Amino acid sequence: MAAVAVSSETEKLSKLRSAVADLNQISESEKSGFISLISRYLSGEAEQIEWSKIKTPTDEVVVPYNTLAPPSEDLAETKKLLDKLAVLKLNGGLGTTMGCTGPKSVIEVRNGLTFLDLIVIQIESLNKKYGCNVPLLLMNSFNTHDDTLKIVEKYSNSNIEIHTFNQSQYPRLVVEDFLPLPSKGHTGKDGWYPPGHGDVFPALLNSGKLDALLSQGKEYIFVANSDNLGAIVDLKILNHLICNQNEYCMEVTPKTLADVKGGTLISYEGRVQLLEIAQVPDAHVNEFKSIEKFKIFNTNNLWVNLKAIKRLVTANALKMEIIPNPKEVDGIKVLQLETAAGAAIRFFDNAIGINVPRSRFLPVKASSDLLLVQSDLYTLSDGFVTRNKARTNPENPSIELGPEFKKVADFLRRFKSIPSIIELDALKVTGDVWFGAGVTLKGKLTITAKPGEKLEIPDKAVLKDKVITSAKDI
């Protein structure tokens, strides 16, 4: 039976190889990367985690942020440190879940400024303050490439070098016969997919950007999602990595009940490793989700040594866990195989995690997150979004907005101005609800408009610990 299975997999791969060879929309390096990913998937090389071998990492492996040495206050020393750094933002995602058509990074977040505006302002102010040259790299996907090129033109006079490059473009696989969707006439964008942010390492090398950075004397790259407003350059972390020669560092932060599905760091057979929920045996899923045993999760803020990336990619040694992502295109079942950058941690020498404050993880995934960052809970200065010290509760309010608020345009229409939420603990809004100007929300609030009815919260209303279903409850 095993021999039959192997011969069938070999045949599948051979047919796929010849079909992929005819796809002239992608480069030779993309073709070989794709075939390599598929053959790994077919060989079923996924390693099963032995639950009993999992150990909680020590403070040497996941270093508490407050034990890091403060960086030098000497401006010249800091300049030396920053001249070894490049910043890379993962910019392949579209804002479709929030009702936008272009790259997510151009959604306006605060004071009319987009994610990308804020990132550019932050790095510009660093370069100006220390007289250094920290470049910004944007890894786009074929979905965001054209729009991003137009958008970055507006920064041409900025004090910052901006480089863009594309991650790989792989063909979606038809499940039925394991052939590429584009070879069946689906040559438009829906025939292709970007293979996850684990592709950042080969894409850096294949684009020529990695060698360019090394030739400029850069040693580390700080990689983060473009929608994480907390992912700013941190001198303490950079200084620690250079002093200790850590090739890879993942920022982790304490889990709350909202983060139970996030990947976590473990010690496994003597190495630090990322454990994702997909790798967890069914019998242990509840244990994985508990915040007692697994107390931290991956923020996807990563600091990686550039020479180490070159060494490992050239040796084809970064064999991260494969994430199968089934989809459907025009009724055809397709498969796309992806990898995650965090899973690469186990291949780097002297890799560590740093347990950072929650303020370094401030992603905007939905309009409820937008409400948080646009409110008085945060202040904006030099492109940095900072938590308002007037908020005494260390946790952010829990906010749940109904589907009427899902698209950014609808969200903005429903608030005359963003309410004050400094003293808010929880807010749940359902139905056709509209907010006036200067509203203050405190404590725990549930606001529900009855079906077919419009519920308006008047200007300057102060609401605290209430369940509101009609105007008379206000």
Residue 149 identity? L
Token pair in block for residue 143: 């979905």
**Cβ atoms of residues 128 and 134 within 8 Å:** no
Distance CA 373, CA 228 (A): 11
| Tokens 């030099």 -> residue | 382
Count the neighbouring beta carbons within 10 Å of the beta carbon of residue 256. 14
330 is in an annotated binding site: no
Nearest by Cα to 339 from 9, 26, 36, 62: 36
227 is in an annotated binding site: yes
**Alpha helix ranges (H) inside 157-221:** 200-206, 209-215
Q: What is the pLDDT of residues 230-265, one digit of tens each?
A: 999 999 999 999 999 999 999 999 998 778 778 999
- Per-residue pLDDT at 7: 61
Nearest by Cα to 436 from 398, 474, 404, 400: 474
- Per-residue pLDDT at 2: 46
Q: What is the pLDDT of residues 86-129, one digit of tens each?
A: 999 999 888 888 888 888 999 988 888 999 999 999 999 999 99
189 is in an annotated binding site: no
**By CB neighbour count within 10 A (0-12 exposed, 13-18 middle, 19+ buried), where does 229 fall?**
buried
Token pair in block for residue 421: 């939420």
**By CB neighbour count within 10 A (0-12 exposed, 13-18 middle, 19+ buried), where does 84 fall?**
middle
365 is in an annotated binding site: yes
Residues of the chain with pLDDT under 70: 1-7, 45-47
Q: Name the DSSP letter for residue 104.
A: G
**Cβ atoms of residues 193 and 168 within 8 Å:** no
- Per-residue pLDDT at 434: 97
197 is in an annotated binding site: yes
| Tokens 């929920």 -> residue | 277
DSSP letters, 292-315, are: TT--EEEEEEEEEEHHHHHHHHHT
- Residue 65 Cα to chain centre, angstroms: 21
167 is in an annotated binding site: yes
User: Which residues touch 363 (CB under 8 Å, ≥6 apart)?
Assistant: 225, 227, 228, 229, 230, 369
- Per-residue pLDDT at 348: 97
Phi, then psi, of 138 in degrees rounded to 5: -115, 120
- Per-residue pLDDT at 47: 62
- Residue 241 Cα to chain centre, angstroms: 22
